[in-house]
């Protein structure tokens, strides 16, 4: 059984909202998204992007840690109205999806994650910038390199060199 619902961490009016999949063990223990190993990598990326604490927010598709850490699409459907409400209230100027499930959920027409990651999808409102899930980077060195390259591309996008600055 989950210990805590894991809802949000970040500023009250963030320009950027990161959307992950589901809380893990550490997130469940603390009730805060992305505070475990994946969270450390995400925090490093946020430092690279030079985002101030008020500039960003972090949410998940699922608000509760799934049993055995297994992603359940039915739970995602149940949680979906909460995610939609979060995005409606926060009104970010950019959504950064973390992993295929977050991308697919918010942009069903997106190509595969490996094709989509690292480039903004500006036909969405707000635009979506897909990244790999940080946990993927622990599985293969190539994915770590891809993560790092995509974070640089996100930084360039935010600074206006790949498109309209947010
Ligand atoms: N992975 C996620 O997708 N979300 C978290 O909060 C932690 C790890």
Residue-wise pLDDT tens digits, 93-122 = 999 999 999 999 999 999 999 999 999 999
For ligand 1, is residue 28 a contact (CB within 6 Å)?
A: no
pTM of this prediction?
0.96
Radius of gyration of the chain (CA): 15
For ligand 1, is residue 59 a contact (CB within 6 Å)?
A: no
pLDDT of 165 reads: 62
pLDDT of 28 reads: 97
For ligand 1, is residue 97 a contact (CB within 6 Å)?
A: no
Query: What number does the ligand 1 atom closest to the CA of 133 have?
Result: 3
| Cα(37) to centroid(ligand 1), Å | 9
Q: Is the pLDDT of residue 58 over 80?
A: yes
9-29 per-position pLDDT tens digit: 999 999 999 999 999 999 999
For ligand 1, is residue 10 a contact (CB within 6 Å)?
A: no
pLDDT of 164 reads: 66
Q: What is the C-alpha separation between 57 and 25, in angstroms, rounded?
A: 20
- Give strand pairing partners of 58: 9, 18
For ligand 1, is residue 116 a contact (CB within 6 Å)?
A: no
- 61-65, 74-78, 141-145, 162-166: segment of lowest average pLDDT: 162-166
Q: What is the C-alpha separation between 159 and 131, in angstroms, rounded?
A: 17
Q: Does domain 9-158 have CATH number 3.40.470.10?
A: yes
Q: Is the pLDDT of residue 166 over 80?
A: no
Query: What number does the ligand 1 atom closest to the CA of 33 have?
Result: 6
Q: What is the C-alpha separation between 18 and 99, in angstroms, rounded?
A: 11
Q: Is the pLDDT of residue 123 over 90?
A: yes
Q: In 10 A of CB 118, how many CB atoms? A: 20
For 17, the 3-state DSSP assignment is strand
Q: Which helix (H) or strand (E) holds 57?
A: strand 56-60
| Cα(124) to centroid(ligand 1), Å | 24
For ligand 1, is residue 105 a contact (CB within 6 Å)?
A: no
């Amino acid at each position: 059984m989950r210990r805590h619902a894991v809802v949000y961490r970040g500023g009250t009016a963030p320009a950027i909202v990161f959307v992950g999949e589901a809380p893990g063990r550490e997130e469940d223990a603390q009730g805060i998204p992305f505070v475990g190993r994946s969270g450390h990598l995400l925090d490093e990326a946020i430092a690279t992007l030079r985002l101030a604490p008020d500039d960003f927010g972090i949410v998940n598709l699922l608000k509760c840690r799934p049993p055995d850490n297994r992603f359940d699409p039915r739970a995602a459907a149940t949680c979906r109205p909460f995610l939609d409400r979060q995005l409606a209230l926060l009104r970010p100027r950019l959504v950064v999806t973390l992993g295929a499930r977050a991308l697919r959920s918010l942009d069903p027409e997106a190509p595969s994650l490996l094709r989509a990651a690292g480039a903004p999808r500006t036909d969405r409102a707000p635009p979506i910038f897909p990244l790999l899930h940080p946990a993927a980077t622990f599985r293969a060195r190539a994915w770590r390199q891809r993560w790092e390259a995509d974070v640089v591309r996100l930084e360039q996008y935010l600074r206006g060199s790949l498109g309209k600055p947010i």
